[in-house]
Amino acid sequence: MSLQSFMTTQGVIARESRFGAKNYASLPVVLARGSGAHLFDTGGKRYIDMMSAYSAASFGHLHPRLVQALKNQLERLDIASRAFYSDNLGLFCEELAALTGLDACLPMNTGAEAVETAIKAARRHGYDRFSIPEGQAEIIVAEGNFHGRTTTLIGFSSEPSYRRGFGPFAPGFVTVPFGDASALEASIGPNTAAVLIEPIQGEAGIIVPPKGYLASLRRICDRHGILLIFDEVQSGFGRTGKNFCFEHEDALPDGLILGKALGGGLLPVSAFVARRAVMDVFDPGSHGSTFGGNPLAAAVGREAIQVLKDEDLALRSHVLGKTLLGALSAIPHPAIVAVRGKGLWAAVELDASRVCVKEICIAMMRRGVLTRETHDTVIRFAPPLIIDEADLLTAVEVFHDALAETAASLASRP
């Protein structure tokens, strides 16, 4: 990196530190451009993207079909209030409902907004259809969950750093161990309205539940007559080797929360998709969003759905995911505690007494691969689904080298 590039990088970082909130501990790289599975810094250095913006860039950076869909819509109409109809929102809702196997769609912007929408739907459905006393509805959630950053959502998080200083929190949530269907069923009571679960827990470290867990949840919810809602904001749209993670066990939920990849990496687009009886709890004035379902979002979302199907990205994720997990599992190093994942969504859990996980990420960055740790013990591998196999294996090799370097450095310290 040239001195000029270094100074530019340092200047950008210093400016953001001075004028921005310090709510991220970013790696010291300043990105200026993206293309496909690659990112480029201000000095022109190319990096393999192994994060894909937490699945928001699942189709790669600036996918030409998605960019063109955005441009085409920009030539016609940008945003119109939901006080009026727009000509592609109904098509977007129809196509998303068909893709999921559900009946109706309520578009929002961020994943957290879509989760909040699902919570509203579950509570009102419980009051209207189950005759739960007003204000007493309960929703069962899992330990280790991550559903977003609103005060309601962090209120039932089990991560202290997400909660500290932000209370008081909303009641009405019952927490059970993730992956334990029996414990979940035992927690169901007369005021239980729904179960809200990530099929795979992403932020917790790509935690994959036991085989049959999702199907068990479907049977349990049917047996007790309560709603099953899956949060697939990260796991949806091919990430796990199926269009949606619930398809691995044919566990169609009553409600599905989507986001990130739905916006094609270009716009914040999310949605709550559900059975008609669940969606019909909403009536005019009960919920809304200024930007939710805007014409630009609908255009990009429709094209994202088509790209997913046309490029068979779920199958690509399944095939390359086996390559990724196989290559990671083949790395012989005593600091590796576990390798887990599904599709192109993998994690390597490391022994923090042997290595500094953040230093591994920095060493990988220096070698041209970008990813981040979670909970100081896990490195995530979630590249764009369009990544080439050669780049995928290069990223694993870089991780291997960075792991060895960092472990040796830590061992040599007094």
As annotated, the active-site residues are: 146, 231, 260
Distance CA 125, CA 132 (A): 9
Distances (CA, A) of 252 to 104, 183, 227, 240, 340: 14, 21, 11, 16, 24
Distance CA 68, CA 286 (A): 35
Query: Is the distance from CB of 36 to CB of 60 less than 8 angstroms?
Result: yes
CA 89 centroid distance within chain: 23
Distances (CA, A) of 363 to 3, 76, 216, 366, 404: 20, 46, 42, 5, 10
Distances (CA, A) of 189 to 133, 156, 318, 388, 394: 13, 18, 38, 49, 51
Query: Is the distance from CB of 397 to CB of 405 less than 8 angstroms?
Result: no
Distance CA 364, CA 399 (A): 6
Distance CA 340, CA 122 (A): 32
Query: Is the distance from CB of 122 to CB of 231 less than 8 angstroms?
Result: no
Distance CA 414, CA 410 (A): 9
Long-range pairs for 310-314: beta carbons < 8 A, 24 or more residues apart: 311/386, 313/58, 313/59, 313/237, 313/238, 313/385, 313/386, 314/238, 314/241, 314/242, 314/243, 314/343
Looking up tokens 């399944």, which residue turns up?
318
- If you count them, how many residues does the chain have? 414
Per the omega criterion (within 30 degrees of 0), is the bond before 199 cis?
no
Q: What is the token pair recorded at 172?
A: 């009405």
Query: Is the distance from CB of 117 to CB of 287 less than 8 angstroms?
Result: yes
